């Protein structure tokens, strides 16, 4: 049975932990607000760029750009994983790593067995996990979210494009968390390459005169589209991470509060028992002296 001193030490330790979790929750809430704003601001441009390129590729010959041409026989797959740099965010990293592992070892099991699956990992947690388990990692970007910059997204997109053009990847998939709300991030595995043609849904869209030419427009749009999409996914993942951390720290603070309540009750009961025991000993001693 724990002594009064043991209970006091536990209460002091839990109070210290509770102060840390409260501070981390406040920091995560501040970061979430900025990350959410950046993610929401990136969506319209990325969406319109994707719509424009999809509409254009549906009307012109996709052979104008190799990145628009899909390959029927997929032998090599590149998986881009966007995870977090740090922990203490609940099951955020665990869930996204599980999804990436499922994509690699189950969805593309045949390619994985033949050594045809490689990865690009953004974020320390995903990079460390797959590196330690011997997965083929082309490039790693640990600590990328400490100073999130568009140049990293551009570099990832350029690496993926170069591998696709060289035939080192027949499909490029991005695994990330899409931010929907504080309590409901959505795990996603989206195809980045090849770029799929999309129908606008308008039957009478008419014919257009392209200036300078469809090929030149596509060549200009494709790199911007890929960089923008990777950047949007990184912003979405960053916002989802901060939301997960804020929720996890809030739960930890509430759990500490409940644990403190239970320990205080135990402490008071133990103290009352000790006082009662001392009184009983005093009374017994007084009775012994009288006799």
pLDDT interval class at 203 (50, 70, 90): very low
Whether residues 239 and 255 share a domain: the answer is no
Whether residue 27 has pLDDT greater than 90: yes
The three-state secondary structure class of 237 is helix
Task: Please tell me the distance from the alpha carbon of residue 153 to that of residue 156, in angstroms, as a whole number.
Answer: 5
Task: List the catalytic residue out of 7, 49, 80, 89.
Answer: 89
Whether residues 116 and 59 share a domain: the answer is yes
Whether residues 85 and 113 share a domain: the answer is yes
Tens digit of pLDDT for each residue in 221-257?
899 999 999 999 999 999 999 999 999 999 999 999 9
pLDDT interval class at 131 (50, 70, 90): very high
Residue 101 lies in a domain: yes
For residue 134, give its domain range: 29-198+207-249
pLDDT interval class at 204 (50, 70, 90): very low
Whether residues 193 and 263 share a domain: the answer is no
Task: Please tell me the distance from the alpha carbon of residue 63 to that of residue 48, in angstroms, as a whole number.
Answer: 23
Check which CATH number belongs to the domain holding 124 and give it.
3.40.1380.10
Provide the token pair at 185: 């991030």
Whether residues 136 and 274 share a domain: the answer is no
Whether residues 211 and 121 share a domain: the answer is yes
Whether residue 210 has pLDDT greater than 90: no
Residue 24 lies in a domain: no
- Give catalytic status of residue 89 as yes or no: yes
The DSSP result for 173-226, as a single string, is: EEEEEEP--SS--EEEEEEEESPPP---S-TT------SS-HHHHHHHHHHHHH
State how far the alpha carbon of 249 is from the alpha carbons of 25, 37, 182, in Å. 5, 21, 13
Check which CATH number belongs to the domain holding 279 and give it.
1.10.287
The three-state secondary structure class of 109 is helix
Q: Helix H segments across the chain?
A: 4-59, 92-102, 109-113, 124-132, 150-165, 214-290
pTM across the whole model: 0.85
Tens digit of pLDDT for each residue in 134-188?
999 999 999 899 889 999 999 999 999 999 999 999 999 999 999 988 877 789 9
Cβ atoms of 174 and 230 within 8 Å: the answer is: yes
């Amino acid at each position: 049975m724990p002594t009064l001193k043991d209970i006091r030490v536990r209460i002091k330790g839990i109070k210290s932990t509770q102060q840390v979790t409260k501070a981390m929750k406040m920091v995560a809430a501040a970061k979430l607000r900025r990350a959410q704003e950046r993610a929401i601001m990136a969506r319209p441009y990325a969406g319109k760029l994707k719509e424009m390129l999809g509409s254009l590729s549906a009307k012109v010959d996709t052979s104008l750009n190799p990145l628009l041409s899909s390959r029927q026989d997929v032998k090599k797959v590149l998986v881009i994983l966007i995870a977090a740099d740090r922990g203490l965010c609940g099951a955020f990293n665990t869930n996204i790593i599980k999804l990436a592992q499922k994509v690699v070892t189950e969805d593309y099991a045949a390619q994985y067995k033949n050594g045809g699956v490689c990865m690009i990992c953004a974020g320390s947690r995903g990079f460390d996990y797959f590196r330690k388990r011997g997965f083929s990692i082309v490039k790693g970007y640990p600590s990328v979210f400490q100073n999130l910059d568009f140049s990293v997204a551009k570099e990832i997109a350029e690496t993926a494009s170069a591998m696709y053009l060289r035939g080192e990847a027949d499909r490029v998939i991005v695994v990330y968390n899409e931010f929907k709300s504080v309590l409901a991030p959505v795990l996603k595995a989206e195809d980045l390459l090849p770029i799929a043609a999309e129908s606008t849904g308008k039957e009478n869209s008419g014919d257009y005169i392209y200036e300078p030419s469809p090929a030149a427009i596509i060549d200009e749009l494709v790199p911007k589209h890929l960089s923008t999409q990777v950047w949007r996914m990184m912003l979405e993942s960053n916002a989802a991470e901060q939301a997960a951390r804020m929720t996890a720290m809030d739960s930890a603070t509430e759990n500490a509060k409940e644990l403190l309540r239970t320990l205080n009750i135990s402490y008071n009961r133990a103290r009352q028992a000790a006082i009662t025991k001392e009184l009983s000993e005093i009374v017994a001693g007084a009775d012994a002296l009288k006799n």
